[in-house]
Amino acid sequence: MPSYDFICLDCRKRFEVSLSYSEYDSAVIRCQHCGSSNIRRKIGRIRIARNASDRMQSLADPTRLNSIDDDPQALGAMMRQMRSELGEEMPAEFDEVVDRLDHGQSPEQIDSAMPDLADNFSEGAGNSSVADDLDF
Ligand SMILES: [Zn+2]
């Protein structure tokens, strides 16, 4: 039975629930810490990002990669291209990050505006920069 990570939007704690696929659609998930149903599923963004960056290495233009660090719009465009190349469903946060990059926000600004995202991106990676964790 697959298990899913959730985060409670009320107490900000994480918990894990094991559900069959049929249960997943109908189950009412409640926070195991405070009982709130104001919860959100967490998706393994690191896994998605690593998987994506592996495949991007054959797609990416190295000259564009060099400017990514200083150019949020270029990073946003690349992430969007990455998603269309992969044809995989990305979490809602992915869209928000791309959106913010489009508006010229740096990965650092996005990190501080989306603390939950930063928390995820930094898992096991030792820093919280979106660009660094994407391994560009
Ligand atoms: Zn809770």
Shared domain check, 71 and 38: no
Beta pairing, strands 3-8 & 39-42: antiparallel
Residues with CB under 5 A from ligand 1 (ion): 8, 10-11, 31, 33-34, 36
Shared domain check, 112 and 61: yes
pLDDT at residue 13, as a whole number: 93
Shared domain check, 89 and 129: yes
Shared domain check, 127 and 72: yes
Q: Using CA of residue 109, residue 113, residue 117, residue 122, what is the dihedral sign?
A: positive
Q: Domain residues for 20?
A: 3-42
CATH of the domain at 30: 3.30.1600.10
Cβ–Cβ under 8 Å, residues 28 and 48: no
Q: How many domains does the chain have?
A: 2
Shared domain check, 63 and 94: yes
* 24 Cα–ligand 1 center, Å: 19
Q: Measuring CA to CA, which residue among 21, 66, 42, 89 is closest to residue 78?
A: 66
What would the pLDDT profile of 10-62 be if each residue is shown by its tens digit?
Answer: 999 999 988 887 887 788 889 999 999 999 887 665 555 666 666 666 555 55
Shared domain check, 127 and 82: yes
pLDDT at residue 44, as a whole number: 61
Cβ–Cβ under 8 Å, residues 47 and 115: no
pLDDT at residue 43, as a whole number: 67
